[in-house]
Every structure is written in structure tokens, then in C-alpha cells.
Amino acid sequence: MGTVAAYGLRKSFGEVQALDGVTLEVPDGAFFVVLGPSGAGKTTTLRAIAGLERLDAGTVHLDGRDATGDTPAARDLAMVFQSYALYPRKTVFENIASPLRARGASADAIASAVAKVSDLLHIERLLARKPAQLSGGEMQRVALARALVRNPRAFLMDEPLTNLDLKLRVEMRTELTRIHRSLGGTFVYVTNDQVEALSMADQVAVLREGAVQQVGTPTEVYDRPANQWVAGFVGSPRISLLACRAEGDRLVGEEGWTLPRPRWTTAEDGRPLLLGLRAEDVSVEARGAAALAGELYGLEPLGDRTVVDVKVGKEMLKVKARPAVTGTLGERLSVSVDLDRAHLFDAATGLTLS
Ligand code: ATP
């Protein structure tokens, strides 16, 4: 068993309410990602689970048992920090072996456990070196190996890939999901990088200002965001939001456009709404009746695609287009909209309307 749960975590630092009632339930064996912007309370949540933070309120349950009063050691969790925290004077072998030595494991057991984890992380050839002789990516692997060498109840990882360059970070994402699959443990992984979260997680909890906004699979969080804020935080380019209201069978934009009212919406007439359109659900190759008129404001070629900025009145719409798309700034464009994939938010509360 390796379930981790937190109920109603509250923690303030002076004036700052870092956690404002965080509740999470991580199933056994999950790759669970806590995603949120800087300052959202991700590290504080992880430290609270690890027993490193004194809480104002709330409980932490491990394997279904209340562990709120347990010491960090008694919780049997392995933590990986973004700073690596390796012992500089010890060799890589001794760094990895240290959690096992602390538990009094035999020399044979240590040698075989270190060999196994070094093989998993492809760091066998580094075992005799000291941390100063390693690159950032190698240090990261050693820090991971040290966490993985024993068999804790769960692994807690705080932005472990932050200090790596982009190429290594992408490689390590694949590596970590592979390791998770082959070890089968419970991972609680904190990041502010939504691509990292969506690509690795079984489940994502989206955190903002110390409060969980939504928990779901990456697809749920992306396709059915709970509110406008989640829709904006997850996805690149950012979802475009156009102010409008429903009137009969039409959606009427504040900038003067109209579109057929999506069949699925129950929003009552006249209520201020925001129409959320993801860049891949709109097209500059106009088709059908659902179209918006605008003008070409900018082109951002990204190799495999080009993001086209279209100005609709005073509002901006981002459109994913083929890489070869061209145009003259200021030219008039018609943008077709896939209304079945559009989102509607209550403009006052930000909540998703269906
Ligand atoms: P980041 O992605 O930047 O690491 P985070 O989501 O992990 O951010 P936390 O580190 O949990 O956020 O911090 C949440 C809030 O609590 C922030 O406003 C932070 O400044 C504050 N905070 C965290 N630790 C302390 C502390 N020891 N003393 C005072 N304020 C703190």
C-alpha cells in the first residue's frame, strides 16, 4: 500500500495564507502531479505531507491511517528536492547508499540495491565520482537514485527537473515515467510546468493561492477545466476568452460578433459570459456558419505550426495554423470556430457552465 491523503491543510506564514484548506487523495501507485504557479503552495503541501511543516489545521493520512503526528522518519516517505542536496564529500555510491546505511542494511544488500538503481538510471559509470565531478543532469539522477534505492511508502518530488536544460528535462520526463512504471510506487510530484504535468501525470491537482481548483486526469483538466482560471493556466498557447452573452439561439459578443449558441449550453439569456476557445479549436481556413471576423495582428512560426493572433474588436484570439500560413498584418480574416469544443464561463464567478 502507498496511499497518501491530505485533508483540509491550512498553513499561514505571518500574513501569507500559504495553504487554505488543501485536500488531496493520491491512490496507491499513482503518478500524481500537483501543478500550480509560483507561490501557489505546492512546496508547502509537499512538506506538510512529509512532516516538515507544522500545520495550522488539517490531517495527513498514509495508507489510510492518520499520520499527522508522526515524525518525518516514521512516515517512511522519500523526498527529492530541486536542489539535489547531495553530500559533497561522499562518492556517488555512498550518496546513494546513505538511506540504506542509516537503516543498518548489510554491505551485500547495499551493494545489490545500489547496483539495481544505478542500472535503472544509467549511472553505473559515475559511482566512484564525487558530486563536484557531475553535470547537473547527472546530479539529478543521483538524487533520484538515492530516493529510489529504498522502498518507501511513497516518493515526494519537488520540481526535480527545474535545474536541467530543456533537452535533458524532456528526456528525464520520459525517464521518470519509465521508472514509475517499472517500480510501481506512488509518486507525488510538484511542478509549475503544465507540459511536464500533462505529459507525466495519471492525475493532476491544480493549485492556486493555497486552494485546489480541480483534480482530474490530464485530459479532464485540459478538456473540461473546472473554471476559467484552470482553462487559462493549462494549455499553450493560452485559451482565448471573448466576452459575450446568450440571446435566444445566438451568442452575442461584446465586440459585435454573433455565433450560433452552442447546443450544449444551459446559460440563461443576458448573463455575462466568457467564450473560451483553444487555439486548436479555431481555424483561419473559414468553414461553415460559425465564424468570427477579425484582423491579422501577428504570426508566430513555431516550426511544426504557426500561431496566428487575430484581433476581434479589442479582444485577441489565438489560432493554431499550418506552418506555411502567411498573411499581411492588418488584413481582414474570417476565423471558423468549433463550437462543440468551445468553453463557456460565467464572467462573474469564472466557473465553467455546461
Ligand atoms: P514555487 O513554485 O515558487 O516553489 P510554491 O507553489 O511551491 O511556489 P510555496 O513555496 O508552498 O509555493 O509557498 C506558498 C506561499 O507561502 C508563498 O507566498 C511563499 O512566499 C510563502 N512561504 C512559503 N514558505 C515560507 C516561509 N518559510 N516563510 C514565509 N513565507 C513562506
pLDDT digits (tens, 9 = 90+) for 112-156: 999 999 988 889 999 999 999 998 888 888 998 999 898 899 999
- 151 and 257 share one domain: no
CA of 136 to the centre of ligand 1 (A): 24
Query: 330: how many CB neighbours lie within 10 A of its CB?
Result: 9
Alpha carbon distance 107, 155 (integer Å): 24
Looking at the chain, the whole-number percentage of residues with pLDDT higher than 70 is 99
- 208 and 247 share one domain: no
CA of 215 to the centre of ligand 1 (A): 21
Model confidence at 172: pLDDT above 90: no
Q: Are 153 and 5 in contact (CB under 8 A)?
A: no
pLDDT (tens digit per residue) in 189-206: 999 999 999 999 999 999
pLDDT attached to residue 167: 84
CA of 38 to the centre of ligand 1 (A): 8
Residue 192 Cβ < 6 Å to ligand 1: yes
pLDDT attached to residue 263: 82
Q: Which of 196, 217, 233 is the last residue of a domain?
A: 233
- 184 and 245 share one domain: no
Q: Which of 233, 267, 287 is the last residue of a domain?
A: 233
Query: 208: how many CB neighbours lie within 10 A of its CB?
Result: 19
Confidence of residue 276 (pLDDT cuts 50, 70, 90): very high
pLDDT attached to residue 133: 93
Looking at the chain, the whole-number percentage of residues with pLDDT higher than 90 is 75
- 14 and 140 share one domain: yes
Domain with 258 in it: what CATH number?
A: 2.40.50.140
- 335 and 215 share one domain: no
Domain with 53 in it: what CATH number?
A: 3.40.50.300
Q: Which domain holds residue 227?
A: 4-233
- 177 and 266 share one domain: no
pLDDT attached to residue 288: 64
Residue 228 Cβ < 6 Å to ligand 1: no
Spatial CA neighbour of 41 closest among 71, 55, 67, 20: 20
For the entire predicted model, the pTM comes to 0.91
CA of 213 to the centre of ligand 1 (A): 18
Alpha carbon distance 118, 128 (integer Å): 12
ipTM of model: 0.97
Tell me the residue type at 235: G
pLDDT (tens digit per residue) in 81-116: 877 789 999 999 999 999 999 889 999 999 999 999
Model confidence at 165: pLDDT above 70: yes
- Across the range 234-258, mean pLDDT stands at 94
Number of domains in the chain: 2
Three cell numbers at 132?
563536484
pLDDT attached to residue 287: 65
Alpha carbon distance 308, 282 (integer Å): 10
pLDDT attached to residue 327: 87
- 271 and 309 share one domain: yes
Mean pLDDT score of the chain, rounded to an integer? 92
214, containing H or E segment: strand 211-216
Residue 38 Cβ < 6 Å to ligand 1: yes
Residue 13 Cβ < 6 Å to ligand 1: yes
Spatial CA neighbour of 273 closest among 284, 263, 282, 261: 261
